[in-house]
Structure 1
Amino acid sequence: MGSGRSFFLQKWPDPVASPQNGPGSNLFLPRKRAAAPPQETVVGFAAMFLSCLGPAAWVLGHLEDYKKRE
């Protein structure tokens, strides 16, 4: 087996000029989807906000309790 560097140095085919890409082919680009309804967007943003900032807010809110423990 050769070194792993040859994997990164090989020439990759150009996705635009590739002969497999005919009209209507979605080989490299995903198909466009319909826009999500506003309710779904709000629920998604709220879930991401709570899952990322919720634990940090909990720790900051109970910081004095953590300082009292020794």
Structure 2
Amino acid sequence: MQLLTRKLYKEIKKMDRQEMETFLARIYHQGYQDGIEDGNKADFKIQLVKVLENTKGVGQKTFGRIMETVKEMGI
């Protein structure tokens, strides 16, 4: 995945101070939102593990299959 394309690089070079501040603020906020989303996914996994550990009839094999499915789903 290429984050900085040649076109974007040229646009950045032409920016004045205010445009650069706006651009960087937008990048910061997007990164912040991505971090929140990743944190929510981690919280979900922790809660799922706790629920599965306390569920009667869910052994290591079933637990492993469930966690593998969660991983494949990208959660």
- On whether the aligned pair clears a TM of 0.5, the verdict is no
- Larger relative contact order (CA 8 Å, sep ≥ 6): 2
Using the size of structure 2 for normalisation, the TM-score is: 0.34
Whose helix fraction is larger, Structure 1's or Structure 2's?
2
The structure having more radius of gyration, on CA atoms, is 1
Using the size of structure 1 for normalisation, the TM-score is: 0.35
